Chain A
């Protein structure tokens, strides 16, 4: 695993929790109120979970996914069966965490992972709705909303991923001297090299 030697796990946990909470609040009180064409909104919480998983590995990914999902299930305007987002985000966090091991080798991985995570997350959420007979997840609506939602997610993903990497890097920099041994720094170096190629 990339994140093997941790200087202070508590600090990292606090940062992770803070990031997730901020993403959730931004999602409901800012993003969801934007009148974007098509009536769908990029899922910032999903993108946050994907980014956290990519940076910290699958363990953090799935725990953060589960907790963020549960919070998204109970935050006030939510009106769906409790546990749906928890299930979906937990799975996505785990799968994207597995991809974090690949980040060393491939500079395209983060972008691919975000796109795949967005697609899988949106589809999975719609599928759970269909299985539960939720009228909001009827085929007519889902078939129109999901492609657009994935597109929006992919468009929004670089900003979210960038913001989270930045937060983590700032935290790490304050904490450790040797930041080039860190997954974040490595990822940044790799992606920098990737763009130059």
Chain B
């Protein structure tokens, strides 16, 4: 069995190579000598991903629109049927419009906070257990490592790796992500950590965990979180809304108190995001948060289903709804 022996030799060689790479890359950490390989990957696959994203986006959007709310399937079915009819007429138009709408809100958010942003689109997502996405702008567009990435609703994550035409974003829901955060209306600071698996880990609704550093500080359900801002505004700029405290763990004699947070951004269907290329001149404090009196801002309202109901121009209720979704449209008051 000459073939078997040969194949065993090859197997050994390949496994050895893989182990060697793991060792080198692991020992090297961020400055690993293999990061050249990653740049090769970004250079080769980045453009391919961009192209394929352009092809598959309409398909993905359609799929999103149907599967977004499994718990409300009946309603979704009804709406999907209705949507289908409209979609046939307006597909291209509608996609552009929904994107323009998201961009609009994004610019509004950035305007209130005083951030300078660069809009981008998510073109691919990470495999296995990691919560990462690729966006379609890179070093050519002025993106650098450790820049904050936001969506219209709130914080998305930070840039970890930059290729020529693409960049990799570590989402806030990733287990390795930690963000300094502050409760609204107070100075109580803590750390927001991801719980993994694209926001669906840990039971779905609360993919983020907030650890309040002062165990005695007041904290209540419904309070909202904004980023604290890092040293030199990197990787996180201050004042970006993160989410709402959903549930607080009873302290069991720990030094910190833990709360579970529902994020504003929808991590399961990210599309238009923005990279903050220039931090604000001064800390916007709570001003970027959406206006306060709101029974439940549902971040589960899908952005892709937007433009239709806006054309329905019914009554005040619709208007108010639209307003709520466009917090940045008003000269928001720091609550």
B277 at the interface (CB under 8 A from A): no
Q: Which of B10, B34, B174 contacts A62 (CB 8 A)?
A: B10
Chain A residues numbered 72-122 whose CB sits less than 8 Å from any CB in chain B = 72-87, 90-91, 94, 97
Give the interface size bracket for A toward B.
35 or more
A135 at the interface (CB under 8 A from B): yes
Q: Which of B41, B129, B269 contacts A35 (CB 8 A)?
A: B269
Chain A residues numbered 1-26 whose CB sits less than 8 Å from any CB in chain B = 1, 24-26
**What is the CB-to-nearest-CB distance from A109 to chain B, in angstroms, rounded to a whole number?**
19
Compute the total of residue contacts between A and B using a CB distance below 8 Å.
194
Per the bound structure, the CA–CA distance linking A145 and B130 in Å amounts to 12
Interchain CB contact under 8 A, B124 and A29: yes
**What is the CB-to-nearest-CB distance from B254 to chain A, in angstroms, rounded to a whole number?**
18
Q: Per-residue CB proximity of B105-127 to A under 8 Å, as 1/0?
A: 00000000000000000111111
Give the interface size bracket for B toward A.
35 or more
Interchain CB contact under 8 A, B40 and A74: yes
Q: Per-residue CB proximity of A53-76 to B under 8 Å, as 1/0?
A: 000001100110010011111111
Chain B residues near A129 (CB, 8 Å)?
129
Nearest B residue (CB) for A122: B128
CB-CB under 8 A for A86 and B18, given A74-B40, A74-B41, A75-B45: yes
Chain A residues numbered 145-176 whose CB sits less than 8 Å from any CB in chain B = 145
**What is the CB-to-nearest-CB distance from A145 to chain B, in angstroms, rounded to a whole number?**
6
Q: Per-residue CB proximity of A133-149 to B under 8 Å, as 1/0?
A: 01111100110110000
Interchain CB contact under 8 A, A144 and B201: yes
Per the bound structure, the CA–CA distance linking A142 and B196 in Å amounts to 11
Give the 5 A-B CB pairs with smallest separation, nearest first.
Answer: A39-B200, A74-B41, A83-B21, A39-B197, A87-B18
Could you list which residues of chain B lie within 8 angstroms of chain A, going by C-beta atoms? 3, 6-7, 10-11, 14-15, 17-22, 24-26, 32, 34, 37-38, 40-42, 45-46, 48-49, 52-53, 56, 59-60, 63-64, 67-68, 70, 122-130, 132-134, 160-161, 163, 166, 168-170, 174-176, 196-201, 268-269
9 contacts between A and B (CB under 8 A): A27-B127, A28-B127, A29-B124, A59-B10, A78-B168, A83-B18, A86-B18, A90-B15, A129-B129
